[in-house]
Structure formats: structure tokens, C-alpha cells
Chain A
């Protein structure tokens, strides 16, 4: 005789969780749909009444405004979509360089909190407490005032070798592009391939013999040696356009505007305080016994840090670090307050000129949503790589 489980009785009364769930969801969907419909209806009506045109056709029309700084030539005859592109590149420029700067500074500060030197510990603590507790907008404004008012005029610019720092920004020499540089580039590519091959070979030798070889300095040396070799083959071109002190401004050479420097420094220095705390928490989370066990099996201080403690700390560090990177990217929108032409400020100008408020704000949101998603996908991938390998 086979045992039968009791028949499942669907109980469609108010006491059934399934039914209640359905009803709640039905009401939730209904409420949201009604809300969206109402808002969309209002918007349509208002736009009709006020005679606001909608659509993205304005993107192809000439922008009619100039942009202070852009990576490529832009003037007021270029269409709007190119203006937005300039804004986007400006935002990404600040975000990428800022993320690199803030990581370096933040890791140094975070590790500094564990220094055996009380002075270094204290300085790192003071840095974190001060920069974390003042709004980032205020810090940007302060840097901007510093760069545009506290610095001397171009004629009395501070100089350090070929560098000039003045109200006009930072000027520096840039190399003149020659065909010889291409050889250097080939050299670097060959060096990278060689370094990669060496690393694989060295690692296999290490696994076979147990004798460690440098997996970092030798490949790095190979990379640069090959680069230098290629550059020398190309005739070692070393011509620079050096900035010179003009009457009213520093002329020639490359330059960074005060706006760019204020945004970059302000964001990096502010975010570094948070990164420092993230790094500190990560290092603290590694159990003390891990370092002691590493010492017991004879690993040196550096090896213990690199092979045992850091990989474990990274697991704790990466998710909040991602958040800090995203925050930096999103905070770069504050550049609008000091006139750095990032995507928000371009959108603002476009909005004022065309009146297409919905479209302009939609573009801004789309830009940030995509960058945020891209960053978090990349960091998630890295996080999976760094996660504990379990069965």
C-alpha cells in the first residue's frame, strides 16, 4: 500500500497567505501604475499648455555656446550631442584620475593608522577626521578660491623647474609627438608580452622547485627596459614644448585649469579620508592569528602581508571601496558649482537654452546610471576573483 500525502487543499480565504500576497501585490501594482499615469498625464498636459516641445531632435542642432575646456576642439557651431560628449569626457577625466589618486592616498593613510610611529598615526587620524567632517561642496569651493585668488597672477607665477603654478592654472611641458615615440610604444608592447611570459615561467618554476622568483620587479623592469630600447631605436626623440612666462599668461605647453585642479584635488582628498577608513577596517578585520601563523611557518614580514593578510583584507575592503568610487564619480557633478564643464553643467546650459528639461535631466541620469552600473559590474567581477575559493 502506498502512502499518500494528504491532498493539498487550496485555501482561498483571507487567512491564506497566498491570497493575501496576491491582493497586496495587486494593490501595489495598481497604485504605482495609477501614480505613473497621473504624473505622465500631468506632464503631457503642462507641456502642451506651456508650449514646450519635447523630443531629442535638438541634439543635432548647433549648441551656440563655447566650452572652457575640452579634450578635443569644440566651438559653438558644433551640435548639442558633441557638447554632451565633451561634458561626458570631462566628467570621466575627473573620475578616472580622481579614483587613482584617491586610492593611492587613501591606502597610504589607512596603512598609516597602524604605523609604529605615533606621529604618523596621529597625522593620519587628524587628516581623516578633518576631511571627513566637512562637506565636499565646501571643500571644492575652498580649493577653487585657493587656486583662483590665493595664488599669484601669471606674471609672478610660482615656478618649479619647467612647472608654473598661477591663477591661470598649472602649466607643464608636453613632449612633441614624433615617429620615434611609436617605436617606444612598440617596445612597451613587446615588453608587456615578455613580462607576461616571464611571469608565467617564473611561477611554474616556483611551483616545481619551491624557489621564489620576483614576480613583480623583474617583469616591471622588463617592461620598461623594452620600452626604453624601442624608444632608443626610434632615435630617442626628446623634444618638449616648454611653457614660457608671457606678459599676461603662461603660454605654450600643456596646462590644467584651476577648475579642473580644484575639482580633482577636492574630490580626491575628500574621498581619500573615506578610503582610509575602509582600508583600516579591512586590515583590522584580519584575525591576529593569521599574521602569527605566517610568521611561524617562516614567511617574512612583507611576504606575510602580501600573501596572507592583504588577500584576506581585500575581501572586506572591496565592496565598500566600490561604493567610494561610485560616490566620487557622482560627487564630480558638484563641479557645476565652480564652473568646471562636466556633464551636469553642460546639461544645465542646454536646458536653459532649449527648455527641454525632461530630456536634459534624463541624459544626465542616464550617464550616471551607466557609469555607476559599469563600475559596479567591474568591481563585482574583481570581488568574485578575490572572494574565498570554497568548494
Chain B
């Protein structure tokens, strides 16, 4: 008989560490040869590009408002254009000495918007605050009361105008959109037809043509001698345009409500409006919050189009500021980057807020 001696199998090596920084780099940057190659390529490109961008934007940049320094060969970005023109870019053609007024008005408006985004303010009296602050905004901007001089709306511009257009069109478009979305699903054929035609017509044409209509053709439609301020007309144009898109989003939410909900409501004896307000809309709106917020962000960006019909909001104010001054004209790109940053900040904040509010409205579903 052979004596078998116990020979243990050689111990397997410990598994590769996947935790910690080294582990993260191994799995995420050098997982296999393809990823490794990609890392080398992308990393190489970044290492080549980033220092150049950094050098242009920061190291070799000119920060002082001195256009002769900007013209020296080999100089990077000329941020001096922002240092020189920032008042004009942000407040447009508003009279220079009175620019504290749009500043206060904008800060008030921003506070109002920030407050409306927090839970503690979701009460009925928020409407009163909106009315009060809007009144204050117009009083400050337009003047003619409390000894403030009168500033016509064609002098308004820059950031205050952007924020005014965006916040007002968002608040006005929302109820219209809800009504139109309900109308498109109504049982009454005439109302359904009107709502469908409205939505499809508006969604079929670009915003510019709606703005052209509002600013050039509107006077043609009105009785002789009757006129509305161009700001209001453009605001109405943007609102109607945004409402059509928003209505489609909300309709998507309405379609997703199971039929049983409506039948249950009918069984309880709720009327049409009771059913919509208490049963359908709360569920439908909660479902489409991300799309609604995306729409709002799009609307905020779309306000830049009013430049084309000669209202000088942020984009228009920048062009006006730089085109009027031959010394600074070569440094338009820096100016554009500056306002791009302003737009980016607002839109990015809105998209972060959208994530938060999504969580809030879905609290009921969380387990």
C-alpha cells in the first residue's frame, strides 16, 4: 500500500484589491488593455490641451481694463473687456447713475425665486409675496413713483431683463399649459380641436418667427392707435410659445394616469374639475417634474433670442457694449465667455434643483 501524504493545494494568491484609490484607478482607468489605451489617449489629449487653455485663460491673461496691454503679441485672454464693460453688460442701456435700481430689483427678484424654491414657502400667501415683489420690481425699474425718474422700457436691458422675461414667462406659461393639456384630452371635440391646433401650430414654427410676429406684426392686428409696449408683446410671445411645449409634457403625464383613477373618482361622485384638481393633476405633474424643469431651463436659455427683435437682454447688451467701442471689438470672445458663464450658472443651478424637487415629489413612493 502506498502511503499517501497529505499535500495541500498551493494557496491561491489574494484577489486584486478593488477598494481604495489604487483599486479605483485599476478598475476605472486600466481595467483591460482597451481601457488603458483609452486612458492614455484621452489623458494625453487633456494634458496637452488643458495647460494651453489654462495659460490662455489665466496665466497669460490681461485682467486690467487696458486695451493696449491686450494687443501685445502673445498675450492670452483679455478679461479687461469684462472689467471695463461689466456695468453695461449686466444692466444694458439703463442710465448709468440709476443702475442701483435694477441691481436692487434683480436681487429682490432672485430672492423671491430662491424663496419660491424652498418648501417652507409653498403656502397660499406666496402668491401675495409674488405680487408685492413684482410690483416693487416694476416700480424700481420703471420709476415715476416715489420721486424716482421715469425710465422707459426700451432702456431696460441686461440681466434684469433676462430674469424678468424668464421668471414671468415661466409662471404665466404653466397655468396655460395645464389648461391646454387638459383641453387636448377633453371629451368635447371642439375644445380638443382648438387645443391641438394651437399646440401643433406653435410647435411647428421656430421661436424667432413667433417673436417677429409679436414685435412687428402685432400692431397690424390691433385697432388703430392702440399699442402695447414691445416688452409685454415679446413676453406674451415667449409665454405662448413655451406653453405649447409645456402642454405636451404635461399631456404625457396625464396619459400615464391609469384609467382606474378616473373611474374611482367618478364612483365617489367627484365632478370633472374636482377629479382633475384632486386626483389627476397631482399624480400627473409629479410624474413629469424632470421634463418640466428641462422645459424651464430651455425657456431661460430661449430668452436670449429676444436680442434678434432688439430687446437688449444679456446677449444683446453684450453685443451693444462691444460693438459700440472699436477699441474693445477684437475681444468679443471673452465677453461671450463671461455671459456664457452667467447662463451656465443659472441653468446648472436649475438642473440641480430639478434633482432635489424630483426627490421631494416622489417622497410618497419611497419605501
Contact = CB atoms under 8 A, between A and B. Distances in A.
Interface in A18-59: 21, 24-25, 28-29, 32, 39, 42-43, 45-47, 49
Interface string B309-329: 000000100010000000000
A96 interface: no
B117 interface: no
A28 to B, nearest CB: 5
A146 interface: yes
B343 A133 contact: yes
B223 A368 contact: no
Given A133-B344, A137-B305, A333-B208, A25 B189 contact: yes
Given A115-B38, A116-B28, A117-B38, A138 B340 contact: yes
In this complex, the member of B32, B188, B189 whose beta carbon has the largest number of chain A beta carbons within 10 angstroms is: B188
B358 interface: no
Interface of A: 21, 24-25, 28-29, 32, 39, 42-43, 45-47, 49, 115-120, 123, 129-130, 132-139, 141-142, 145-146, 149-150, 326, 330-331, 333-334, 336-337, 344, 348, 351, 357-358, 361, 364-365, 368-369, 372-373
Given A132-B347, A137-B305, 10 more contacts: A21-B187, A25-B188, A117-B29, A117-B31, A118-B24, A119-B46, A141-B336, A145-B336, A344-B208, A364-B209
B333 A369 contact: no
Given A118-B29, A142-B333, A142-B336, A24 B188 contact: yes
Contacts of A334: 206, 208, 305, 308
B191 A119 contact: no
Interface string B198-211: 00010111111100
A138 B32 CA distance: 41
B42 interface: yes
B190 A357 contact: no
18 contacts: A28-B194, A39-B221, A117-B28, A133-B301, A134-B347, A135-B301, A138-B304, A138-B336, A141-B315, A149-B332, A326-B203, A333-B206, A336-B308, A337-B307, A344-B209, A365-B209, A368-B205, A373-B204
B129 interface: no
Given A43-B220, A134-B343, A368 B333 contact: no
A116 B35 contact: yes
B209 A117 contact: no
A361 B219 CA distance: 15
A141 B204 CA distance: 24
Nearest to B203: A372
B182 to A, nearest CB: 13
Contacts of A25: 188-191
B65 interface: no
B330 A149 contact: yes
B22 to A, nearest CB: 14
Contacts of A149: 330, 332-333
A42 B189 contact: no
A44 to B, nearest CB: 10
Nearest to A372: B204
B209 to A, nearest CB: 5
Contacts of A336: 208, 308
Interface in B193-236: 194, 201, 203-209, 212-213, 216-217, 219-224
A21 B351 CA distance: 41
A187 B315 CA distance: 52
Nearest to B306: A137
A348 B188 CA distance: 40
A68 B316 CA distance: 25
A3 B27 CA distance: 77
Interface string B8-27: 00000000000000001001
Contacts of A358: 217, 220
B206 A344 contact: yes
A149 B329 CA distance: 10
Q: Would you list the 9 A-B pairs with minimal beta carbon distance, nearest first?
A: A133-B347, A118-B28, A25-B190, A135-B301, A330-B206, A333-B206, A135-B304, A369-B204, A372-B204
A241 B48 CA distance: 35
A364 B27 CA distance: 54
A118 B224 CA distance: 64
Contacts of B31: 116-117
Contacts of B187: 21
A119 B38 contact: yes
Contacts of B52: none
B217 A361 contact: yes
A16 B38 CA distance: 70
Contacts of B347: 132-134
B348 interface: yes
Given A24-B188, A361-B212, A134 B39 contact: no
A142 B332 CA distance: 8
B190 A28 contact: yes
Nearest to B183: A28
A13 to B, nearest CB: 16
B297 interface: yes
A357 to B, nearest CB: 5
A47 B307 CA distance: 28
A138 B343 contact: yes
A344 B205 CA distance: 11
Contacts of B297: 133
B61 interface: no
B302 interface: yes
Given A133-B348, A134-B343, A135-B304, A333 B336 contact: no
A45 to B, nearest CB: 7
B104 interface: no
Contact of B302 (A39, A116, A135, A348): A135
A372 B205 CA distance: 8
